[in-house]
Chain A
Amino acid sequence: MNFDYSDDQKMLKDEARRFLAAKCDAKVVRGVLDQDDCAYDAALWRAVAAQGWLGTAIPENYGGLGLGHVELCALAEELGRACAPIPFASTVYFVAEALMLFGSEAQKAKWLPRIAAGEAIGAFATSERAGPVTQASLHTVATGGTLSGEKIPVTDGDVADLIVVLAKDGMYLVEKGAGVSAEVLRTLDPTRSAAKLVFDRAPVERLGGDDGIVAMQAVFDRAAVLLAFEQLGGADRCLEMAKDYALERFAFGRAIAGYQAIKHKLADIYVKNEIARSNAYYGAWALNSAAPELPLAAATARVAASEAFWFASKENIQTHGGIGFTWEADPQLYYRRSRQLSLVAGAPATWRERLVSQLEMRNAA
């Protein structure tokens, strides 16, 4: 038993933190926030690709580094801490994982090396309307090698080279090009881009078997663990920001960090973050070892991390007082991101429901 990163993994994580501190400060995040037509920071994307991070969990024979998923979790934590404005999650947690789970040899050989090299951005298109994605919510259909329908919202759909689309009868691979049009959406977190995608007889390839919802859920389970680490990194950063500010800000003759109301608030954030961390670690183990516990562990990690990041991001603004909700202060960056990450693979309520149904299944077995 060992419930922590190994020394090598810690070293990787420390290097990633230093790298991102140099390449992805708040100015970089704001650069994307403040420009209406900017989907992501291209320089950071190239730098991250050059580090090999995109291929962390992709096997070496497909151009990746062939490390494990725990290493990818460590990087996810740091990307979340930096609020990195790049299509890393869409490309790596969703599309690369979908390809590794369900891709044919030819599909993997074609796409995984391009993903690992940073030459192909991915998007995972499932939602068509408000509410959870269920079989009844799907109207996209594939016939005769082409696909038609609408997906909204698709994170990174406007810049994706490869889109994994959930249709009524399964998942499909769609390349950017003929039959695919994108309309950029205004969203709660403009540092991460999203679009409405319209498919009009777009040429497609089948990815996996007949039950698309089951396949989507399998991808979501894997992404949920990785997203939980991004959320955890973001929540930790919020606690740090709140703490630093509270120590610097004086009111009524002393630092506000000395007031019990603020101390207990920050202690509450800390407690939620630690619960999220412990559950994320368990999820990382389940993901990395392909344990049968993965669906339950992923749901547990996701619910804990969503709650922690939401709480930390809103109480960080509260701790900052009036400056906290201005455009120029940084707490909003994490507040926005906490909403994006909590919803990108299904809302917390959906994951709570999944958690309980997994518990029931395990209990019945």
Chain B
Amino acid sequence: MDFNDTPEEAGYRAAARAWLEKNVAGHKALPHADDMAAARSWQARKAAAGYAQITWPKEWGGGGGTPIQSVIFGQEEAKFPVQYGYFTIGLGMCVPTVMAFADDATKRRFVGPALRGEEIWSQLFSEPAGGSDVAAIRTRAVRDGDDWVVNGQKVWTSGAHYSDYGIVLVRTNVDVPKHKGLTMFWLDLRSPGIEIRPIHQMSGGSNFNEIYFTDVRIPDSQRLGAVDDGWKVALVTLMNERLAVGGGTGASPKEILALAKGLDAADGPLIADPAFRQRLADWYVQAEGLRNTRMRTITALSRGQTPGPESSIGKIIAANQLQDLGNAAVEAEGQYGIIADPALLPLKGLFQTAVMNAPGLRIAGGTDEILKNIIAERVLGLPGEIRVDKDAAFRDLPVGR
């Protein structure tokens, strides 16, 4: 066990830091009108230097590097105010799926622009009837000559309102069990017949959307994988999702300490309250446990092993902890805690925000309950859930809400 950089890693870190110092300074000097423009420009800079997708092969514009190098760059980049979320889903999940299943011409057309932040991708899986039950998809695609005609509704598509392209999972056969009648396509989100409506969340944000399809035509040439074999393609996307999402660490120790020092309790600062110190220790233990768990995952990756569903623990812990910790902070503020105006609050209302965001975080990317099933079944080898719909044709399934 060695938590220090090897000489090679130290060299990579030094080069990354030097590059960041030089380029972030230049980047900040650019007169950016908005966050998205700044994000695109930063992404393009990273792509040009091989820092955009460090583990991708160089022939696809990546850095040709190792998972450890990717972590090192991430650690160094986090020290600068240039962390943007716009490209995570596209580069983490959609584009890898395109790279795995599309023809060469398609890959050549799309991988580069996505890498450079010129085009943004969305993942169109969830539906009102299928959240955790991803395969319960009702959006229909019917073959019409060289095209497929799509009708239905998707929901919980992160960032679709600013995205250019998407990968979409649709039902192409209702006469077979649900997993066997799905097909995956890539599509232009500005195709005629698509309507994207932002969803107003309880936190006040509108990061998710619902998307309506009315006779949307998708050419068969945009199919990813075989007809009715879309579940296999979706599993590739979902595996990448676990890697991308599973890395959450909850509130950082820095925020935990800031919380305790910044708040007053009855007899002095909260950090002096023995009961609060006990809880603080537990949060720190969990945050550190997650950080080091991620390092174990990366060690496995660097040894050529495939990280398994173990990384599901990241999201379970992080989202729950953010909810508990945020609430403890809000409660510690007493009557004042109900205020939601960042201008009036300690740490600009960081913990009020956490309380309102946490319910969504415990659901997005797999609920706590689904993730625990994944651990129980795929890590511990316990029996799967009883699935009464397993062998029935999709058209015969009962429909509730």
CB atoms of A243 and B380 under 8 A apart: yes
State in angstroms the CA–CA spacing of A228 and B167 once bound together.
46
Asked if A1 is at the interface of the complex by the 8 Å CB criterion, the answer is yes
Whether B4 and A270, one on each chain, are in contact in the complex, defined by CB atoms closer than 8 angstroms, is no
A284 at the interface (CB under 8 A from B): yes
* A70 interfacial contact with B, CB 8 Å: yes
A262 to B376, CA, bound (A): 9
Using a CB-CB cutoff of 8 Å, which residues 270-313 of chain B contact chain A? 271, 274, 277-278, 280-282, 284-286, 288-293, 295-296, 298-300, 303, 310, 313
Q: Is the CB of B257 within 8 A of A363?
A: yes
Q: Is the CB of B369 within 8 A of A264?
A: yes
Complex: A228 Cα to B2 Cα, angstroms: 18
Interchain CB contact under 8 A, B295 and A3: yes
Q: Does A303 reach chain B (CB closer than 8 Å)?
A: yes
What's the tally of chain A residues with a CB closer than 8 Å to chain B? 51
Instruction: Tell me the bound Cα distance from A286 to B313 in angstroms.
Output: 24
Residue of B nearest to A247 (CB): B382
Interface of A is mostly: helix
Name which residue of chain A comes closest to B286, CB basis.
A275
The residues of A that contact B317 with a CB separation of less than 8 Å are 271, 275
The reply to whether the CB of A14 lies closer than 8 angstroms to some CB of chain B is no
Tell me how far the C-beta of A297 lies from the nearest C-beta in chain B, rounded to whole angstroms: 8
Q: Does A300 contact B (CB under 8 A)?
A: yes
Chain B residues with Cβ under 8 A from A285's Cβ? 1-3
Q: A260 within 8 Å of B by Cβ?
A: yes
Kindly state whether residue A12 has any CB partner on chain B within 8 Å: no
Question: CA–CA, A352 to B274, complex, Å?
Answer: 10
Instruction: State the CA gap A300–B71 with chains docked (Å).
Output: 23
User: In the bound complex, how far is the Cα of B369 from the Cα of A279, in angstroms?
Assistant: 25
Report if A356-B376 is in contact (Cβ < 8 Å); known contacts: A1-B4, A258-B383. Answer: no
* Residues of A with C-beta under 8 A to B375: 267, 270-271
Q: How far is the CA of A85 from the CA of B369 in the complex (A)?
A: 38
Q: How far is the CA of A303 from the CA of B296 in the complex (A)?
A: 20
Cα–Cα distance between A67 and B4 once the two chains are bound (Å): 20
Rounded to whole Å, the gap between the CB of B66 and the closest CB of chain A is 11
- Let me know if A317 is at the binding interface, CB within 8 A: no
A282 touches B277 (CB 8 A): no
* CB-nearest residue of chain B to A304: B285
Question: Which A residues from 291 to 310 make CB contacts under 8 A with B?
Answer: 291, 299-300, 303-304, 307
Contact across chains for A353 and B281 when beta carbons are under 8 A apart: yes
Interfacial chain B residues near A255, Cβ < 8 Å: 383
Residues of B within 8 A of A281 (CB): 1, 292, 296
B224 to chain A, nearest CB (A): 32
- Residue A129 interfacial (CB < 8 Å): no
Which residues of the partner chain A approach B385 to less than 8 Å between Cβ atoms? 258, 260
Given A282-B288, A300-B288, check contact A4 B383 (CB 8 Å).
Answer: no
Give every chain A residue within 8 A of B35 (Cβ-Cβ).
none
Question: Is A276 an interface residue when CB atoms closer than 8 A count as contact?
Answer: yes
Query: In this assembly, does B316 line the interface, its C-beta being within 8 Å of a C-beta of chain A?
Result: yes
Interface SS, B side: helix
Cβ contacts under 8 Å, A284 to chain B: 1
* A247-B382, A284-B1, A355-B281 known; A1-B288 Cβ under 8 A: no
* Least distance between B276 CB and chain A CB atoms (Å): 9
- Whether the pair B372, A359 counts as a contact (CB closer than 8 A) is no
Q: B278 to A349, Cβ gap below 8 A?
A: yes
> Is A226 an interface residue, CB under 8 A from the partner?
no
Q: Are A263 and B281 in contact (CB under 8 A)?
A: no
Contact B281 A303 (CB under 8 A): yes
Q: Is A161 an interface residue (CB 8 A)?
A: no
Taking CB atoms, residues of chain A closer than 8 Å to B68 are 1
Q: Which residue of B lies closest to A258 (CB)?
A: B383
Are B382 and A243 in contact, CB atoms less than 8 angstroms apart? yes
CB under 8 Å from chain B, chain A span 70-112: 70
Instruction: Point out the residues of chain B lying under 8 angstroms from A266, CB to CB.
Output: 376, 380, 382
CB-CB nearest in chain A for B280: A356
Question: What is the distance, in angstroms, from A316's C-beta to the closest C-beta of chain B?
Answer: 13
Per-residue interface assignment for chain B, residues 5 to 21, with 1 indicating a CB less than 8 Å from any chain A CB and 0 otherwise: 11001000000000000
- On whether the beta carbons of B293 and A275 are closer than 8 Å, the reply is yes
B78 at the interface (CB under 8 A from A): no
> Which residues of B from 358 to 382 have beta carbons under 8 Å from A?
369, 371-373, 375-377, 379-382
How distant is the Cα of A266 from the Cα of B383 in the complex, in angstroms?
12
A282 near B292: Cβ-Cβ < 8 Å: yes
Q: Report how far A316 CA is from B153 CA in the complex, Å.
A: 45
Interface check B253, CB cutoff 8 A: yes
B5:A278 contact, CB within 8 angstroms:
no
B386 located at the interface, meaning its Cβ lies under 8 Å from any Cβ of chain A in the complex: yes
Task: Please give, as numbers and ranges, the residues of chain B lying within 8 Å of A304 by CB-CB distance.
Answer: 285, 289
Q: Chain A 36-53 against B: per-residue CB contact (8 Å), 1 yes, 0 no?
A: 000000000000000000
Q: Is A327 on the interface with B (CB-CB < 8 A)? A: no
In the complex the two chains form, is B1's CB within 8 Å of A70's CB?
yes
Report chain B residues within 8 Å CB of A247.
382
Q: Please tell me if A175 contacts chain B, counting CB pairs below 8 Å.
A: no
Across the interface, name the chain B residue whose C-beta is closest to A4: B299
Among B5, B292, B296, B373, the residue within 8 A (CB) of A263 is: B373
Task: State the CA gap A268–B298 with chains docked (Å).
Answer: 23
Provide the residues of chain A in CB contact with B282, threshold 8 Å.
Answer: 303, 307, 352
CB of A2 within 8 A of CB of B1, answer: yes
Given A263-B380, A267-B373, A278-B289, 16 extra CB contacts under 8 A: A1-B6, A2-B299, A3-B3, A3-B298, A243-B382, A257-B382, A258-B385, A262-B382, A266-B376, A275-B286, A275-B293, A282-B292, A300-B288, A352-B278, A352-B282, A360-B271
Closest 9 A/B residue pairs (Cβ): A275-B289, A352-B281, A278-B292, A263-B376, A258-B383, A267-B372, A267-B375, A3-B295, A278-B293
List chain B positions with a Cβ less than 8 A from chain A.
1-6, 9, 68, 71, 253, 257, 271, 274, 277-278, 280-282, 284-286, 288-293, 295-296, 298-300, 303, 310, 313, 316-317, 369, 371-373, 375-377, 379-386
A-B contact pairs, 15 of them (CB 8 A): A1-B71, A4-B1, A4-B300, A246-B382, A257-B382, A260-B385, A263-B380, A263-B382, A266-B376, A271-B316, A282-B3, A282-B288, A351-B281, A352-B277, A356-B277
